[in-house]
A and B are shown apart, each in its own frame.
Chain A
């Protein structure tokens, strides 16, 4: 079978594109510099389609599909940026902000937060929903890092980075629906868990939910770019 048999053609936002079979809509869009907002997706980790920000319209279907997990097919016509999608994305962001306690002004990730950046990019200026203001805890038991559940958006990047890349799988999710919370081990303190202290979860966290104690007061940008590199080196071995 020749290589060209695996090539599919499709249209994204009016652009005629060709892509490899098995690619996701998000991969093809990003390869062609078409921006689709994401929060739970991270290059180097598996996709879970949790945040729903990457929902796109497919011609001929009423269903919106998450671009990070939807594969392309021949002749597909995709719209990534309609008014309907913009509205849905703003509602998703509003829900994220209203769900927990996101106080940018005093957050360690202020200026380096993916949630904050996305709100600015999509033009979210007000939260019309009532804030839930839940009383959530802070786990400061780890010698190097802190987990502040007030700022967690349940993207599960930490869970995937720890399980898929580090192989420790100390992070997981407890509870259901709005009561879900990320935990370490069997809901033990992070400091007394089997954590390898590698810090990958902190670098993957899109908000200030996981942070390095020594960065308080300083700029705290996260550097998750090492993930695809780690994968590449493992495959080469």
Chain B
């Protein structure tokens, strides 16, 4: 008798997803799938719109990382315009991307994952949320909220709006940074440093108690993809993509956005609306890889800022080659957040940061263009084709969750095999299977829906379709 266990919806994620665990007649886990259950249609309904509208249109995909879509979209538009944006605009955009990365990582670590990490995987689900964290560790609760505010407030100071700013446009940005706003950001830095360091210290203290989870949370050799600078330091906004193999050897380097479709393919599985992205020369699924904080740190040789470099050196001690367990995404996220704060400080010291020349103008000079950046949760690529008037005729978005899709599915299967035995499960096991997905911090439909208050139903169904057991949270 085969059975199916469904976890629907998966909670504390950005978006809508569910997990199905299929048992064989002996009650052993046979297979497991992570499903993304919604279709959005952005690629289709943007057809016919003028390309210069695309950044603000695409930003609406997500309320957590609108900046990522703004930047990838603007870069794709600039490829169509064939322009290089002014230096100051590029620097301001880098700062915007850093602010977004810091606030998104703060959301992922403090609001979504720290309830599991600080209160325990088997703690009372009613208290296993940011309010429970704030009650148990008020300092960490405040640090999380403070760090999110830091990132969001910088976005607001640059672009007048915290969410869905229209400040990033094809050709640069609409307004220069004022001296008053620069000083306001500088004044926020000491508290931001303190909050990141508090999180790093707290994480390192508890990480050792999760040795079992580290063992089975999508812990396997894989390829890793991410942006990198020519000096092999980490990059989020410019640079080119590097793909490394499980030993850390470079498979391909210097992949620019214009070469993206040549080397990256998208496969479709019938159980999910999210595509499975792979490296074409290796084929599917062998060419699958991981993206995001852990792969980025696996790829780079340095962060390029002093404090984050020290943290990177410590992080790399976790393994000899690339670090394989996806549980370490949490640690990598905090190292990146520290880098983000340092990088914002460094960008503000640029003597040209208040320069007023922040926008280049041009019409349609190419009929096709691609843009790529590192979103908080991994590589993001936008690719457009336009007619001679600049109206979109075709659009394709390859998002981080697509890049990580294969790894997340493998991770769910691995953890299900570890925590579901003989057809039996416990709430702690259920939460651990979800927590594997949470470690990747995916943006499922790139929507802002938080499922913290939604009921979670896990159902075991026998081969005849009868419900034999059910757990309701």
A residues near B (Cβ < 8 Å) are 105-106, 108, 137-138, 140-141, 143, 146, 191, 213-214, 216-218
Which residue of chain B has the shortest Cβ distance to A214 in the bound complex?
B361
A140 touches B389 (CB 8 A): yes
Q: How many A-B residue pairs have CB under 8 A?
A: 40
Given A106-B57, A217-B55, A217-B169, 10 further pairs, Cβ under 8 A: A108-B53, A138-B48, A140-B390, A140-B391, A213-B52, A216-B169, A217-B166, A217-B168, A217-B174, A218-B166
Considering only CB atoms, which chain A residue lies closest to B57 in the complex? A106
Complex CA distance for A214 and B175, rounded to whole angstroms: 13
- Min distance, Cβ B361 to any Cβ of chain A, angstroms: 7
A214–B174 CA distance with the chains assembled, in angstroms: 10
Bound-state Cα–Cα, A140 to B56, Å: 17
| Bound-state Cα–Cα, A218 to B60, Å | 17
**Interface hits, B148-207 → A, CB 8 Å:** 164, 166-170, 174-175
Considering the chains assembled together, what is the distance between the CA atoms of A218 and B363 in angstroms? Answer: 17
Question: B120: CB under 8 A from chain A?
Answer: no
Quick one: closest A residue to B387, CB to CB? A140
Which residues does chain B contribute within 8 Å of A108, judged by CB atoms?
53
Interface bin, chain B: 20 to 34
User: Within the complex, what minimum Cβ distance (angstroms) separates B57 from chain A?
Assistant: 5
Task: Tell me how far the C-beta of A222 lies from the nearest C-beta in chain B, rounded to whole angstroms.
Answer: 17
**Residues of A contacting B50 in the complex (Cβ-Cβ under 8 angstroms):** 138, 140, 146, 213, 216
Residue of chain A at shortest CB distance from B390: A140
Q: Are A218 and B48 in contact (CB under 8 A)?
A: no
Contact of A106 among B52, B56, B390 (CB under 8 A): B56
Alpha-carbon distance between A69 and B270 when the two chains are bound, in angstroms: 62
State the Cβ distance, B320 to closest chain A Cβ, in Å: 48
B49 interfacial contact with A, CB 8 Å: yes
Assess the A216–B363 pair: CB atoms within 8 A: no
> Which residues of B, 333-392, contact A by the 8 Å Cβ criterion?
361, 363, 389-391
Q: Which residues of A contact B52 (CB under 8 A)?
A: 213, 216
Tell me which of A137, A143, A146, A191 contacts B48 (CB under 8 A). Answer: A137
- In the complex, which residues of chain A have a beta carbon less than 8 angstroms from the beta carbon of B175? 218
| Nearest B residue (CB) for A136 | B48
A219 to B49, CA, bound (A): 19
Kindly state the separation between the CA atoms of A234 and B445 in the bound complex, as whole angstroms.
58
Q: How far is the CB of B83 from chain A (nearest CB, A)?
A: 14
A85–chain B nearest beta-carbon distance, Å: 36
State whether B60 touches A106 (Cβ < 8 A): yes
**In whole angstroms, how far apart are the Cα atoms of A137 and B392 in the complex?**
12
Complex Cα–Cα for A216 and B166 (A)? 8
A146→B363 CA distance, assembly (Å): 13
CA distance A146 to B48 in the complex (A): 13
The 9 closest A-B pairs by CB, nearest first: A217-B169, A140-B389, A217-B166, A218-B174, A216-B52, A140-B50, A141-B389, A217-B174, A106-B57
Residues in chain B near residue A146, CB distance under 8 A: 50
Q: A143-B363, A191-B389 are in contact. Are A217 and B56 (CB under 8 A)?
A: yes
